[in-house]
Chains A and B, each alone.
Chain A
Amino acid sequence: MRALAFAARSLVRQPGRTALGILGIAAVGALLFDMLLLSRGLVVSFRDLLDSVGFDVRVMSTDAAPLGGPRVPHASAIAFELAALPAIAEAVPVRLTDAEASTRGTRPIGFSLMGMDARGRRPWTLTAGRDLGRDAADTPPSLLVNRLLADALKASPGDEIAVRVVCAADRAALPPVPFRIIGVAAFPFDAAAERSGVASRASLAIACGGDGGDDADMLLIASREGYGPDAAVAAIRRHRPDLHPATNDEIVARMQATGFTYFRQISAVLSTITLLFGFLLITVLMTVSVNQRLAEIAAIRALGFSRARVAADVLCQSALLVGCGGVLALPLGIALSIWLDAILKAMPGIPSALHFFVFEPRALMLHAALLSVTAVLAAVYPMALVATLPIAATLRNEVVS
């Protein structure tokens, strides 16, 4: 009888203990799997989100995080200059500010307003009505809103609303300006409860009394096909060394070092704890099982089983327990990750399209590798017990006891 089949029969002999061992590994394995998903989940999801918008470089005035530093002055001229570079297909200044909107009969509702002159690529998806035109400065100015804002205002495409924009910190409160909602769109960076809208920069200037300034919080850059984001960044640095461009990867790396670091840490801590737990569980189970079967093991050693053979039996038992538990851990882990993801996505300011737990084949392989190592390490002590078992003394003790 081969070692694996022999081990399986030994485990089946103690069904309660075996079931608990497998369930225990499944529970910690599920948590381990989730922590592996969490360790890179935000990074992967954030990168996908950045890439989905269609722009692969962002330009800021300093090396602070996007939206965290001073604005880029003379943004239109800079965008024009950069768009002329061979490595760059599109350069779009973006201004982000707060605003309030109201219709007749509703209280003012705060929302995030983006000022952007969309040309080719648009960081939103139109779901109703029509999209913003190029450099549109309609009368009244056009506004695209997200579904939450439209519902809060009880407005639909074609309706006119009053919008008061926060133009600068040192400005007095300006009177509201009429805007026409021309469409409803989905903005990928919107948080779950966030109300937002987008208008052209010219419309923003109108709302700021004709003096919105030519500052931008950042410029969105799309590299030209065949060049890539690194080439675009290099070209920008050569042309305008005073600016701070960053590829999507670089932005993700910065976020990973700052905003995401807590989740990486907790992922590392919990992964370690779950592995230790699994190791302890299997070691204890196997050791107690071996200690209860010492006479039996001595007998089969006396029959001619070698040390390696009996040790292999213990290793196979450990592998079977951890293997079965590890397989069961996967659907449990996926279900758990859905729950945990829903909890974490409630964090304020987190885009609803962002996920904390993202499946990668790498996580699955790492999960399997870590559990395999755990199975082997957990079996070391009980393997040593059976391999060094004094046959004669054990047989003698069994008879005497």
Chain B
Amino acid sequence: MTAPLVEARGLTRTFPMHAGPVHALRDVSLRIDPGEYLAIRGPSGCGKSTLLHILGCVDTPTSGTLIFDGRPVGALPDAARSALRLLSIGFVFQRFFLLPMLTSSENVEVPQAEAGVGRRERRRRTAELLDYVGLAHRGDHRPAQLSGGEAQRVAIARALANRPRLLLADEPTGELDRATGEQIALLLDRVQADGTAVVVVTHDPAIAARAARTLLMRDGRIVP
């Protein structure tokens, strides 16, 4: 049995609110193996995105342990967590969040530059990634000049820039039509097939059906 890429034990996340605490996650444990394709489904407000954020080291659990590639993440300082996200984890958001003042190529180069990759290698890798997502001809276009599907593909290319071991996608097709969503789903299939573990939070049953494993969540818990 291979060592897990991500192991979560007893994760809870509570948000203190004026009206009383909100328990977004309650004692969630799971494991993600290298190269696995995992879908997380559930109704709105069940804690899917919260779980994704914790897995991606964007948020910290109120209690519980998260181990990434054999290393406990909880005690890491912010700089180390940022480095982990930069080099080992890729994020794809529902709203794309491309940098509007940069071209598609520049958006894909940003994480590589931050990781200290040299200019020549950055450009080579960027061209490779844009070709991978089918947008080699749109490298000089800014996000405002792209369609929703194209913008999300650029976002996926950006997320893969530093060859992450884990790709996290939060409702990647949430703002796309069915046909475009299908294209994104195919792309995610390909990413997973090439060895990157993919975790997708989605409402879309068609996307979830492509995953090797689906977790159902309700009221902050994983429903067995």
Contact = CB atoms under 8 A, between A and B. Distances in A.
Q: Report if A and B touch in the complex (beta carbons < 8 A).
A: yes
Interface of A: 1-2, 9-10, 12-13, 295-296, 299-309, 390-392, 395-396, 398-399
A301 B82 contact: yes
A309 B114 contact: yes
B110 A300 contact: yes
A14 to B, nearest CB: 9
Given A306-B78, A395-B53, A296 B99 contact: yes
B23 to A, nearest CB: 15
A307 B109 CA distance: 19
Contacts of B59: 390-392
Nearest to B56: A302
Nearest to A399: B94
Interface of B: 49-50, 53, 56, 58-59, 78-79, 82-87, 89, 91, 93-95, 97, 99-102, 106, 109-111, 113-115, 158-159, 162, 170-171
Nearest to B44: A400
A304 B87 contact: yes
Contact of A304 (B49, B99, B109, B114): B114
B49 A9 contact: no
Contact of A306 (B82, B94, B109, B162): B82
A92 B46 CA distance: 99
Contacts of B102: 1, 9
B101 A302 contact: no
A398 B95 contact: yes
A13 B85 contact: no
A393 to B, nearest CB: 8
Given A303-B86, A304-B111, A391 B53 contact: yes
Nearest to B89: A304
Name the residue in A296, A392, A398 with the highest tally of chain B Cβ atoms < 10 Å from its Cβ: A392
A1 B102 CA distance: 11
Given A303-B158, A304-B115, 16 more contacts: A296-B99, A296-B100, A300-B99, A300-B110, A301-B58, A301-B82, A302-B91, A303-B110, A303-B159, A304-B82, A306-B79, A306-B82, A307-B79, A392-B53, A395-B58, A396-B49
21 contacts: A1-B106, A1-B110, A1-B113, A2-B113, A9-B101, A299-B91, A299-B93, A300-B110, A302-B58, A303-B111, A303-B158, A304-B84, A304-B86, A305-B86, A306-B78, A390-B59, A391-B58, A392-B58, A395-B58, A395-B93, A395-B170
B97 to A, nearest CB: 3
Contacts, number: 83
Contacts of A308: 79
Contact of B85 (A2, A302, A390, A396): A302
Contacts of B97: 295-296, 299-300
A369 B36 CA distance: 56
Contacts of A390: 59
A307 B78 contact: yes
Name the residue in B82, B85, B94, B102 with the highest tally of chain A Cβ atoms < 10 Å from its Cβ: B82
B101 A13 contact: yes
Contacts of B58: 301-302, 391-392, 395
A387 B83 CA distance: 15
A305 B95 contact: no
Contacts of A2: 113
